[in-house]
Amino acid sequence: MSGAIANELTCKELVELITDYFEDRLPTDENRRFELHVCTCTGCRVYLAQMRALVRAAGRLAEKDLPAAVRENLLRTFRDWKRGAAEP
Amino acid sequence: MIAYKFLTAGAAAPFTGRPWPLPGPRAPGAWIVAPQGDLARYGVHACRVEDLSYWPDEELWLVELGGTILHQPCQLVAARGRLLQRIAAWNVDSAREYAVACAWRARDVAVEALGRGGLVAEEAALRACMDLVSLQATATTLAGDGPRDATRGLVAYVAGAAMRARQGRYPEASLQCAHLGAALAGGEAGAEHERAWQARWLAHRLELREIAARSGVGTLSL
The predicted pLDDT at position B26 comes to 86
Q: B17 to chain A: which residues are within 8 Å by CB? A: 52
pLDDT over 90, % of chain A: 47
> Is residue A3's pLDDT more than 70?
no
The answer to whether the beta carbons of residues A39 and B171 sit under 8 Å apart is: yes
Q: Distance, in angstroms, between A7 CA and closest chain B CA? A: 8
Q: A3 to chain B: which residues are within 8 Å by CB? A: 157, 175-176, 179, 182-183
Q: Do A36 and B55 touch (CB under 8 A)?
A: yes
What is the ipTM metric for this complex? 0.84
| Per-residue H/E/C for chain B | CEEEEEEECCCECCCCCCECCCCCCCCCCCCEECCCCCHHHHCEEEECHHHHHHCCCCEEEEEEEEEEEEEECCEEEEEEEEEEEECCCCCHHHHHHHHHHHHHHHHHHHHHHHHHCCCHHHHHHHHCCCCHHHHHHHHHHHHHCCCCCHHHHHHHHHHHHHHHHHCCCHHHHHHHHHHHHHHHHCCHHHHHHHHHHHHHHHHHHCCHHHHHHHHCCCCCCC
Q: Do B171 and A42 touch (CB under 8 A)?
A: yes
> Is residue A46's pLDDT more than 60?
yes
Rounded to two decimals, the pTM is 0.85
Disruptive mutation site among B4, B5, B7, B41 for chain A (greatest number of A CBs within 10 Å): B41
Q: Do B174 and A40 touch (CB under 8 A)?
A: yes
Residue in chain B closest to A30 (alpha carbons) equals B41
Q: A21 to chain B: which residues are within 8 Å by CB? A: none
Q: Where do the domains of chain A lie?
A: 11-86
Burial label, B189 (beta-carbon count in 10 A; 0-12, 13-18, 19+): exposed
The tens digit of pLDDT for each residue in B5-45 reads: 999 999 999 988 899 999 998 899 999 999 988 898 899 99
> Is residue A79's pLDDT more than 60?
yes
The CA angle B13-B15-B21, to the nearest 5 degrees, is 15
Q: Do A3 and B157 touch (CB under 8 A)?
A: yes
The predicted pLDDT at position A62 comes to 78
Residue in chain A closest to B54 (alpha carbons) equals A36
The tens digit of pLDDT for each residue in A6-38 reads: 788 999 999 999 999 999 999 998 999 999 999
Q: Distance, in angstroms, between A39 CA and closest chain B CA? A: 6
The predicted pLDDT at position B145 comes to 64
Q: What is the dihedral of CA B177, A4, B135, B147, to 10 degrees?
A: 170
pLDDT over 70, % of chain A: 91
Compute the half-sphere exposure of residue B66: CA atoms within 13 Å on the CB side of its CA. 11
Distance CA A6, CA B182 (A): 9
Size of interface A-B (CB pairs under 8 A): 59
Q: Distance, in angstroms, between B25 CA and closest chain A CA? A: 30
> Is residue A88's pLDDT more than 80?
no
The predicted pLDDT at position B218 comes to 46
For A39, the closest of B17, B171, B180 (CB atoms) is B171
The predicted pLDDT at position A84 comes to 78
Q: Do B54 and A36 touch (CB under 8 A)?
A: yes
Residues (pLDDT < 70) of chain B are 145-148, 216-222
Q: Do B191 and A31 touch (CB under 8 A)?
A: no
